[in-house]
């Protein structure tokens, strides 16, 4: 009986010691895991091997972990890295107004810009492009002389350009009314369908055989002129005429003039503008 009591007492002491050791172990482990990034005030740019702590990692293992920007890619961040180093995405300003044409009396480009207000940090979204280009043409030289050469082939752009085009050259004495010309697209180059720029995506809707509307409006139609360059008014019936998209030299082709109208009735994606 005494022997049994001794054995039970010894077992209870052993279990108690083991339980105590387990508790101490968990306490020490928890103490280590609380290191992380926040408690040590760590948040480093790039890959910094000195920006290291002790704590839980994303793979649920415990040990050395990092508080630098690169840890998100190497999967060795400390458990509290997102709280210590929150991702900050790039912030940019609004677009500036469009510039004038780069050169007068020729098909060229205009540009608008924006500025970086805040740089990205800790893996935040990168900054988008800071400049955008779009085609345009100017009808007056820098000496305020009217451009005399003919824009051939016909130069076209998206109809939306007409909303922003300046009309300062239109005579205030007599309002000039524009007109619309319908064409049937006969051929277009592959460059029209392979464009990624925001201001050339309208070309992707061009298809051979489709009917398109091209509007002639000031200042392409200026005082003293009865037509826009390249509208095909003097062309023979079923004659193939050349056209080119402004701002994308690789997008060009041929079309046949159908008729002239007072206003355009084509869908927006098939409505364009003489430059």
pLDDT in tens, 132-157: 877 666 666 777 776 655 555 777 87
pLDDT of residue 32: 41
The pLDDT confidence band at residue 114, using thresholds 50, 70 and 90, is: very high
Q: Assess contact for 56 and 65: CB atoms under 8 A.
A: yes
Between the two ends of the chain, the Cα-to-Cα distance in Å is 112
Residue 11 has pLDDT above 60, yes or no: no
Which has more confidence, 275 or 257? 257
Q: Is pTM beyond 0.85 here?
A: no
Residue 48 has pLDDT above 60, yes or no: yes
Other Cβ atoms closer than 10 A to 85: 25
What is the residue extent of each domain of the chain?
35-84, 91-141, 153-163+176-274
In the predicted model, what is the mean pLDDT of residues 246-275?
Answer: 85
Best-predicted range by mean pLDDT (31-35, 134-138, 233-237, 254-258): 254-258
pLDDT (tens digit per residue) in 173-226:
455 678 999 999 998 888 888 776 666 777 877 888 899 999 988 777 755 667
- Looking at domain 91-141, its CATH architecture is Single Sheet (2.20)
Q: Assess contact for 114 and 92: CB atoms under 8 A.
A: yes
User: What are the residues whose beta carbons fall under 8 Å from the beta carbon of 241, sequence distance 6 or more?
Assistant: 153, 154, 183, 230, 232, 235, 254, 255, 256, 257
């Amino acid at each position: 009986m005494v022997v049994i009591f001794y054995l039970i007492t010894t077992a209870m002491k052993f279990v108690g010691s083991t339980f105590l050791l387990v508790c101490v172990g968990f306490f020490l482990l928890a103490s280590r895991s609380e290191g992380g990034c926040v408690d040590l005030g760590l948040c480093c740019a790039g890959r910094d091997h000195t920006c290291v702590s002790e704590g839980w990692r994303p793979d649920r293992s415990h040990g050395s972990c990092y508080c630098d920007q690169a840890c998100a890619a190497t999967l060795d961040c400390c458990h509290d890295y997102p709280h210590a180093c929150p991702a900050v995405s790039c912030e940019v300003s609004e677009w500036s107004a469009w510039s004038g044409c780069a050169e007068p009396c020729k098909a060229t480009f205009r540009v608008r810009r924006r500025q970086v207000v805040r740089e990205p940090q800790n893996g935040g979204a990168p900054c988008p492009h800071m400049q955008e280009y779009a085609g345009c043409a100017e009808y007056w030289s820098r000496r305020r002389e009217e451009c005399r050469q003919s824009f051939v082939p016909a130069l076209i752009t998206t109809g939306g350009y007409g909303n922003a085009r300046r009309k300062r050259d239109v005579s205030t004495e007599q309002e000039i009314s524009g007109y619309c010309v319908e064409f049937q697209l006969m051929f277009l180059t592959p460059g029209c369908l392979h464009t990624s720029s925001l201001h050339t995506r309208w070309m992707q809707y061009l298809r051979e055989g489709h009917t398109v509307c091209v509007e002639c409006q000031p200042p392409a139609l200026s005082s003293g002129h009865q037509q826009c360059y390249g509208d095909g008014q003097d062309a023979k019936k079923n004659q193939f005429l050349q056209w080119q998209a402004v701002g994308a030299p690789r997008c060009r082709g041929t079309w046949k003039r159908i008729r002239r109208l007072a206003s355009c009735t084509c869908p927006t994606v098939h409505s364009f503008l003489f430059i």
